[in-house]
Copies of this chain bind each other. A is one copy, B any other.
Amino acid sequence: MTSESNDLHGMVPDHHDTAVLLIDVINHLDFEGNEELLKIAEKLGKQIASLKEAARKLGIPIVYVNDNFGKWKSDFRNVIENVIEENKPGKPLAKLLLPTEDDYFVLKPKHSAFYCTPLDILLNHLGTETLILAGIAGNICVLFTANDAYMRNYKIIVPKDCIGSNTSAENNAALEQMENILKADIRPVAEIIKDLKRSALRKNSNQEKPDEIIRK
């Protein structure tokens, strides 16, 4: 029925020109050739967690975009339990990035977060213009998602220490492609966070100006 679905009222209470996409961070990580990635998984998880924490404080919405596991049930809770309980190699990463009540979730059936998902509609309601991408694999699902974001005219930020691939060579090739072709900002997460805070300050001070004028 239309009452709620028509305009998605109530579903998307947040509004911000920036959104964070956490791509496949809830992940078994049990695929072939994962050795190098497993070694950096915890560090990667902490860096992504720092991005998430900063975004949360600044009111920037977080959207988990994740593969489904098991039978298709549009049930993200199930996906999380699956990774945690089965004690898969991805458990430590997942535990660093457990979603909370404030987060949005989109299940994706293929590599790109945009392909056959409601992501674009959700971002439209959020007012998103800039996407910050983080997660794995940098040269597959992150890159596919970045390409699709670029075709949809989003500004793209991919903090280079917030994505991981099977090998660092593959990770670097993906970063180069995103920087050169997609015009992505790939500076490290610490610098990105600094910029986000600065921009929030600027917005706040702009919003306060009219009041100040009135007060004087």
Contact = CB atoms under 8 A, between A and B. Distances in A.
Interface in A1-44: 1-8, 10-13, 24, 27-32
Contact of A67 (B5, B30, B108, B177): B5
Interface residues of A, number: 66
Interface stretch (A45-53, A113-121, A208-216): A113-121
A106 interface: yes
Interface stretch (A133-141, A187-195, A199-207): A133-141
Contact of A8 (B10, B75, B109, B144): B109
B177 A176 contact: no
A5 B111 contact: yes
A5 B109 contact: yes
A129 B104 CA distance: 28
Contact of A72 (B68, B73, B118, B140): B118
Query: How many copies altogether?
Result: 4
Given A109-B8, A173-B177, A176-B173, A140 B1 contact: yes
B1 A72 contact: no
Given A5-B110, A6-B111, A71-B104, 19 more contacts: A1-B29, A1-B31, A1-B137, A2-B140, A3-B28, A4-B69, A5-B67, A5-B141, A10-B70, A11-B70, A11-B71, A74-B75, A74-B76, A74-B107, A77-B78, A108-B118, A111-B147, A116-B121, A117-B117
